[in-house]
Amino acid sequence: MGLKIRKGDTVMVIAGDDKGKTGRVLQVDEDKNRVIVEKVNFVKRHTKPKGQNQSGGIIEKEAPLHISNVMLFDPKAGKGVRVGVRMAKDGSRERVSRATGEPVGKSE
């Protein structure tokens, strides 16, 4: 269980230009410790047309954020929370919110 943030989690940005924004994790890069969060950290990409049928222009898309700049968002606490791991009753590991003690998301 390498990282405590996973694809599909709702996270809150805690540092940078987009501080305070929340969004769903679209992609996690474990090698580079980066996440892509939906509708957060937009960058503009200028593209040239390639071929006859493709048009050029300016494309806005999400750029990766370092995983240390996001926290898991707990709707019960209403804020970003630290994540812990504990053993469930059936012997599997589960992620828990340090603020409320409640399990968050599904464990794999």
pTM here?
Answer: 0.84
How many helices (H) and strands (E) the chain has is answered by: 0, 10
Give pLDDT < 50 ranges for the chain. 1, 107-108
Taking CA atoms, 17 is separated from 5, 37, 73, in Å, by 20, 14, 18
CATH class of 10-97: mainly beta
The reported pLDDT for the residue numbered 62 is 96
Where are the domains positioned within the chain?
A: 10-97
Tally of residues, the chain: 108
The reported pLDDT for the residue numbered 106 is 59
d(CA 4, CA 76): 18
d(CA 57, CA 28): 28
- Report how far Cα 41 is from the mean position of its chain's Cα atoms: 11
